[in-house]
């Protein structure tokens, strides 16, 4: 550790004169691809909407007002709290939570299974987890739709083996959306948990077992607390993209009700054509995600103290 | 010597570039609407390379053009009301009087189209109607009424797909209520809103590109759909019947427009002339199963098309109506309703 720190110091003094230029690429990437677009959205969310899409450069709070207050169909009723968009957000959070739980239930045992294989077969298992993800997300979501539709292979199989008599109504339900999101983001759960398990020293479990701790206690008291950062990272990596997804809700949920992603999409490329409102919804979504992440980061740092 | 090398390479580069631009055409089109063989024929006849992107609603075409795609496409294929809107937004180029040699092939009733009088910006592509189709295995009752969509019988509740197209849904809803489109009357607008709110509880899904697929697969038993798309669903084995309701139905015409700032304007005009040839217009009709607005197509059409039930409104059907373009105030109310419908 000391040697590493020492070499770090000499390195930094060697590169000190050119440090600015060496950091340039990362600043450019962060600035150009992250800060600039977000800033643009922030600015747009405070502009006046142009009829049929586009913005007029006059500052206004109209977009946020539209999000929070309901002024009736014609816009001249006394303002009331607007539940429309809040319920879209709540629905999205519900779907994303469902997907995260599904991912955790399947992802944790999968990661555990892979981590406990021997070195040679581990690689193969990890490889197998990633194979489906070489196929485009759209294709995967559409094939999921084919699988679970009323006359699809899943229902036909279940009927043939006599498990059910009428087809399960899966397509166009909340569960179908969660299933689609689960399938889309499963590796994001498996891989961080696997990485945490990889570092876990299994002799702890053995020691606990020698002291007559039942398996459940070992899992709850030793394994899970140690790999908790991996689990939380996995949950965040699944939850956050699920929140803004629109492919799965559109294709599997029937697009009947908007999720956050499709609400925003509709403002830019759909019927509504209200760019500032789309930008404002994105900013609100972004703030929600930030709050979750900051909360997590603080909880983490508190634990480490 | 050095200068000369630079000069020659510049010349080569520029001419190469011109040749490159000269051989291209960029088309922005609806999905599943252009037979590949016809594109191949165009390419081999003219040597022009065609690239085609697709969209799934008039509104998303408008949005893409607004968001900066104007200037990257030469032609697009908006529906009637969208031609009017695009022209109003200044997004269309004007076709000069003598620039299309086949302009005379347009059927007379489509020359003076309400959405583009005198055809200054557009030529007809196909026209047809929008209403809905019902799976006859599931429902055997009367389907000649818009109640099927807005106030469905019990057998059909929860088995309805609706086009994700605000203009057509609002128009059909207005026909159902017997109110004018783009009504400014508050009571009528409220009635339309509550109609959509109550109908929505019986709808299973929204989608345009899936409209045929969900009927064929049996995911739904009723689908709001375009007539030609419905006949394709029937050909693919779905026992569906297309309805021409008593209350009326939506008529539309898709049009090839010359976009403003088209990078290959000349090729766009060649393409439009090509599509106005009766044989080529008929090829599109044979594929999409709507109607061409072009004279002399009949002898190239597949005979079955003429008698196709989807193309022949029944005796006693209500009138067909184009989707109207609303003013800003009413359009904003429509947008409100549409979001309420989807939340």
Contacts of A80 in chain B (CB under 8 A): none
Which residues have CB under 8 Å from A177's CB, separation 6+? A95, A99, A248, A249, A252, A253, A259
How far is it, in rounded angstroms, from Cα B157 to Cα A268? Answer: 32
pLDDT-derived band at A76 (thresholds 50, 70, 90) equals confident
- Which of B169, B214, B219, B334 is most worth mutating to test chain A (most A CB atoms within 10 A of its CB)? B219
The total of structural domains in chain B comes to: 2
Tokens standing for A168? 């399960």
Are B247 and B258 in the same domain?
no
Residue A10's pLDDT band (boundaries 50, 70, 90)? low
Residue A2 in this model has a pLDDT that exceeds 50:
no
Residues of chain B contacting residue A84, judged by C-beta atoms under 8 Å apart? 339-340, 343
- Are B215 and B164 found together in one domain? yes
**Nearest C-alpha of chain A: how many angstroms from B72?**
17
Q: Strand B49-55 to strand B122-135: parallel, antiparallel, or no bridges (unpaired)?
A: unpaired
- Residue where the block lists tokens 């057998």: B155
Residue B34 CA to residue B48 CA, distance in Å, equals 16
Look at A255 and B339 and tell me if their CB atoms are within 8 Å.
no
Residue numbers in chain B where pLDDT is lower than 70: 1-22
Q: Nearest C-alpha of chain A: how many angstroms from B342?
A: 5
Considering the domain architecture, whether residues B67 and B79 belong to the same structural domain is answered as yes
Rounded-to-integer distance, Cα B322 and Cα B181, Å: 10
Statement to judge: residues B90 and B145 lie in one domain: no
Chain A residue at shortest CA distance from B89:
A52
**By CA distance, what is B168's nearest residue in A?**
A271
pLDDT for A9 equals 52
pLDDT of residue A305: 53
How far apart are alpha carbons B229 and B213 in whole angstroms? 10
> Are B109 and B17 in a shared domain?
yes
Domains of chain A: 21-81 (no CATH), 84-304 (1.10.3720.10)
Q: Is residue B52 classed exposed, middle or buried when 0-12, 13-18 and 19+ CB atoms within 10 A define those classes?
A: middle
Contact B339 A73 (CB under 8 A): no
pLDDT of residue A14: 75
Q: Do B85 and A52 touch (CB under 8 A)?
A: yes
State whether residue B112 sits within 8 Å of chain A by CB: no
pLDDT in tens, A140-171: 998 998 898 888 888 889 988 988 888 888 88
CB contact under 8 A, B333 and A73: yes
pLDDT higher than 50, residue A279? yes
A279-284 average pLDDT score:
95
Query: Is there a contact between B66 and A272 if contact means CB atoms under 8 Å apart?
Result: no
Cβ within 8 Å of residue B233, ≥6 positions away? B133, B212, B215, B216, B223, B225, B240
- C-alpha B253/C-alpha B250 separation (Å) is 10
B223 shares contact with chain A (CB less than 8 Å) = no
Instruction: Tell me how far apart the alpha carbons of residues B49 and B39 are, in angstroms, rounded to a whole number.
Output: 9
DSSP three-state, residue A93: helix
A260 with A89: CB under 8 angstroms? yes
Q: Is A118 helix (H, G, I), strand (E, B) or coil?
A: coil
Confidence grade of residue A78 (pLDDT, cut at 50, 70, 90): confident
Measured between beta carbons, the chain A residues lying within 8 angstroms of B332 are 75
**If you ran DSSP here, which 8-state letter would residue A192 be given?**
H
Find all residues with CB under 8 Å of B44, minimum gap 6, and list them. Answer: none
Backbone φ and ψ for B55, nearest 5 degrees, come out as -135, 170
Q: Could you tell me which chain B residue has the CA closest to the CA of A252?
A: B205
Are residues B116 and B40 located together in one domain of the fold? yes
- Contact between B249 and B163 under an 8 Å Cβ cutoff? The reply is no
Cβ proximity of A249 and A141 under 8 Å: no
In chain A, the percentage of residues whose pLDDT exceeds 70 is 95
Residue-range definition of the domain harbouring residue B122: 2-126+253-305
CB B63 within 8 A of CB B303: no
Which token pair is A254? 């029937």
Instruction: Tell me the C-alpha to C-alpha distance, in Å, between residue A18 and each of A14, A32, A171, B338.
Output: 9, 21, 58, 56
Q: Which of B57, B63, B342 sits opposite A257 (nearest CB)?
A: B342
A75 touches chain B (CB under 8 A): yes
Which run of H or E residues covers position B207?
A: none
Residue A88, chain B, CB below 8 Å: the answer is: yes
Residue B146 token pair: 């818009």
**Closest partner CB to A256 (pick from B62, B204, B339):** B204
What is the model's pLDDT at position B267? 95
CA distances from A192 to A99, A178, A233 (A): 17, 21, 7
CB proximity list for A62: less than 8 A, separation 6 or greater: A48, A49, A276
Q: Which residue of A has its CA nearest to B192?
A: A73
Are residue B133 and residue B213 in the same domain, yes or no?
A: yes
State whether B115 and B203 are in the same domain: no
Answer yes or no: do B193 and B329 share one domain: yes
Identify the pLDDT of residue A3. Answer: 43
State the smallest CA–CA distance between residue A265 and chain B in angstroms: 10
Q: How far apart are CA A152 and CA B210, in angstroms?
A: 16
Q: How many CB pairs under 8 A join A and B?
A: 94
CA A267 to chain B, closest CA, distance in angstroms equals: 9
Alpha carbons B30 and B57: distance in angstroms, whole number: 8
pLDDT tops 90 at residue A246 = no
Tell me the β-bridge partners of A59: A47
Verify that B71 and B170 share a domain, yes or no: no
CATH of the domain at B318: 3.40.190.10
- Residue B22 is predicted with a pLDDT of 53
Do residues A266 and A272 lie in contact, with contact meaning Cβ atoms separated by under 8 Å? yes
Residues in B closer than 8 angstroms to A274, CB to CB, are 335
Contact (CB, 8 A) for B77 and B64:
no
- Contact between chains at B335 and A88 (C-beta distance less than 8 A): no
Q: Classify the complex by whether its ipTM is higher than 0.85, answering yes or no.
A: no
pLDDT of the residue at B145: 96
Binding-face residues of B in 230-289 toward A, CB within 8 A: none
Pairwise CA distance, residues A176 & A259, whole Å: 14
Nearest to B330 by CA among B183, B179, B193, B194: B183
What is the per-residue pLDDT for B6?
52
The pLDDT value given to residue A230: 93
More reliable by pLDDT, B67 or A94? A94
Tell me what pLDDT residue A295 has: 87
- Over residues A171-191, the pLDDT tens digits come to 888 899 999 999 999 999 999
Q: Note whether B140 contacts A: Cβ–Cβ < 8 A.
A: no
With beta carbons under 8 A apart, name residues in chain A contacting B333: 73-74
Does B206 share its domain with B57?
no
Task: Please report the pLDDT score of residue B15 as a whole number.
Answer: 46
Main-chain dihedrals φ then ψ at residue B294, nearest 5 degrees: -120, 140
Cα–Cα nearest to A140, from A16, A251, A294: A251
A61 vs A167, more confident: A61
Does residue B191 sit in the same domain as residue B211? yes
- Residues counted in chain B: 343
The three state secondary structure string of A14-30 is HHHHHHHHHHHHHHHHH
């Amino acid at each position: 550790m000391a040697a590493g720190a020492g070499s770090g110091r000499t390195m930094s003094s060697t590169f000190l004169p050119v440090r600015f230029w060496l950091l340039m690429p990362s600043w450019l990437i962060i600035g150009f691809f992250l800060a600039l677009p977000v800033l643009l959205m922030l600015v747009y969310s405070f502009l006046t909407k142009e009829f049929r899409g586009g913005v007029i450069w006059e500052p206004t709070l109209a977009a946020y007002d539209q999000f929070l207050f309901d002024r009736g169909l014609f816009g001249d009723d006394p303002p009331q709290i607007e539940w429309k968009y809040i319920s879209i957000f709540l629905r999205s959070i519900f779907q994303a939570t469902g997907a995260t739980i599904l991912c955790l239930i399947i992802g944790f045992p999968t990661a555990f299974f892979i981590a406990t294989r021997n070195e040679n077969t581990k690689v193969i298992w990890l490889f197998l987890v990633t194979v489906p993800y070489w196929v485009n997300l759209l294709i995967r979501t559409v094939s999921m739709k084919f699988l679970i539709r009323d006359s699809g292979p899943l229902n036909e199989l279940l009927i043939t083996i006599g498990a059910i008599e009428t087809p399960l109504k899966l397509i166009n339900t909340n569960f179908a959306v969660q299933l689609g999101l689960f399938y889309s983001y499963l590796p994001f759960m498996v891989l961080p948990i696997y990485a945490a398990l990889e570092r876990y020293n299994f002799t702890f479990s053995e020691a606990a077992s020698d002291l007559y701790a039942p398996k459940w206690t070992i899992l709850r008291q030793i394994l899970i607390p140690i790999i908790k950062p991996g689990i939380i990272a996995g949950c965040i990596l699944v939850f956050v993209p699920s929140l803004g997804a629109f492919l799965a809700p559109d294709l599997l949920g029937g697009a009947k009700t908007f999720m956050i992603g499709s609400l925003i999409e509709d403002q830019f490329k759909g019927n509504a054509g209200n760019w500032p409102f789309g930008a404002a919804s994105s900013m609100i979504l972004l703030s929600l995600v930030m709050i979750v992440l900051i909360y997590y980061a603080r909880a983490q740092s508190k634990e480490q103290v | 010597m050095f200068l000369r090398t630079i000069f020659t390479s510049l010349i080569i580069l520029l001419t190469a570039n011109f040749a490159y631009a000269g051989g291209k055409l960029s088309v922005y089109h609806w999905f599943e609407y252009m037979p590949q063989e016809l594109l191949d024929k165009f390419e081999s006849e003219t040597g022009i390379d065609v690239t085609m992107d697709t969209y799934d609603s008039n509104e998303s075409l408008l949005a893409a053009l607004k968001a900066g795609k104007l200037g990257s496409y030469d032609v697009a294929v908006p529906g009637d009301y969208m031609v009017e809107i695009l022209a109003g937004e200044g997004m269309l180029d004007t076709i000069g009087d003598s620039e299309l040699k086949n302009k005379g092939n347009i059927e007379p009733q489509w020359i003076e189209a309400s959405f583009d009088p005198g055809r200054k910006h557009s030529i007809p592509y196909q026209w047809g109607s929008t209403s809905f189709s019902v799976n006859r295995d599931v429902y055997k009752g009367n389907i000649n009424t818009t109640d099927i969509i807005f106030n469905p019988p019990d057998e059909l509740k929860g088995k309805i797909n609706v086009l994700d197209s605000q203009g057509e849904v609002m128009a059909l809803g207005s026909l159902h209520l017997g109110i004018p489109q783009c009504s400014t009357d508050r009571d009528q607008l409220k009635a339309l809103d509550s109609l959509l709110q109550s109908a929505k509880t019986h709808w299973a899904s929204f989608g345009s590109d899936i409209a045929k697929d969900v009927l064929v697969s049996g995911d739904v038993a009723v689908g709001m759909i375009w007539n030609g798309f419905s006949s394709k669903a029937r050909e693919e084995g779905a026992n569906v019947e297309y309805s021409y309701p008593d209350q009326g139905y939506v008529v539309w015409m898709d049009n090839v427009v010359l976009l403003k700032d088209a990078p290959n304007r000349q090729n766009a005009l060649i393409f439009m002339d090509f599509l106005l040839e009766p044989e080529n217009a008929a090829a599109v009709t044979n594929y999409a199963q709507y109607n061409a607005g072009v004279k002399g197509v009949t002898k190239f059409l597949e005979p079955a098309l003429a008698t196709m039930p989807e193309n022949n409104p029944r005796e006693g059907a209500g009138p067909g109506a184009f989707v109207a373009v609303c003013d800003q105030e009413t359009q904003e109310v429509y947008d409100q309703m549409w979001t309420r419908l989807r939340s």
